[in-house]
Amino acid sequence: MPTQSLQTFAPSLGRNTEFGLEESPASRAFGTLLMMTAWYTSSISIWYHAARFLQDKTIQVERFSTEETGSFECHEEDAAAILQVITSRKPDCEAISALQRAARAATIHAEAALMGYAFYDQSKEISSALQLPVGVSHKCCHLCWLLKKELNDHPTAKDLLLPGTHSQFLPWIPPFGVSDCTLQSLRIKLLVIIRSRLRQERALSGMVGYTGISPFT
């Protein structure tokens, strides 16, 4: 199941979140090269898992696509309410704006779309597979990794395989077919992670005075 990652760069955040590069002509050129060769990297990832099973066999390739999603708009009142739940305090304007910018950059990640399709598809070809490697051009975001673990823990799970995670959270829209129960579980895990990181940052900043932080910057 090879695919090209949909988010090598996150322009709304002003930097490449995977490689930590500031936006510049050089970093944009590097990102373009990564996108152009993503299909090759994805194929290598698939081949690593499947080479010993594919000798003398015919491979069928199917094109899979999802409907385009429009820009997701998070209104100021909604952003403030979300931050209030996370931080248990009234958010400032900077934190609200940061969340709104992140929401507008959200997309359906390619690996998440493929995992959702593979998990909920009932065709014999996919349902009978013992392992389902998902070929991506680089390690996935942490939310895609949490989705993989959530789907693999399901009673009717298939063994979804990803090359790893770079541990960054990127703006994310749930893929088609993921159940409300799964999304609720992901929400709980996200709240735990964000609140834990907030506590850690508050503890570190306590010596110089805590003025408030946003988990979305």
Tell me the mean pLDDT in the region 76-104: 89
Q: Kindly tell me if the per-residue pLDDT of 14 is higher than 50.
A: no
The pLDDT assigned to 93 comes to 92
CA 162 vs. chain centroid, Å, equals 12
The predicted-structure confidence for 84-94, as pLDDT tens digits, reads as follows 888 888 889 99
Q: Kindly tell me if the per-residue pLDDT of 195 is higher than 60.
A: yes
Cβ(142)–Cβ(80) below 8 Å? no
Q: Kindly tell me if the per-residue pLDDT of 197 is higher than 50.
A: yes
Based on the number of CB atoms within 10 Å of its own CB, is 199 exposed (0-12), middle (13-18) or buried (19 or more)? Answer: exposed
Q: Kindly tell me if the per-residue pLDDT of 166 is higher than 50.
A: yes
Q: Where are the alpha helices (DSSP H) in the chain?
A: 25-36, 38-50, 76-87, 93-104, 110-120, 124-127, 142-152, 180-205
Q: Is the dihedral of CA 27, 29, 162, 14 positive or negative?
A: positive
The predicted-structure confidence for 23-62, as pLDDT tens digits, reads as follows 677 777 766 776 666 666 666 666 666 666 666 667 676 7
The pLDDT assigned to 11 comes to 33
Tell me the mean pLDDT in the region 121-150: 77
The pLDDT assigned to 183 comes to 93
The pLDDT assigned to 163 comes to 82
Based on the number of CB atoms within 10 Å of its own CB, is 145 exposed (0-12), middle (13-18) or buried (19 or more)? Answer: middle
The pLDDT assigned to 52 comes to 60
What residue segments make up the domains of the chain, in order of their start?
11-69+107-178
Q: Kindly tell me if the per-residue pLDDT of 22 is higher than 70.
A: no
Phi, psi (5° rounding) for residue 54? -110, 5
Q: Of residues 185 and 206, which shows the higher confidence score?
A: 185
- pLDDT band for position 20 (cuts 50, 70, 90): very low
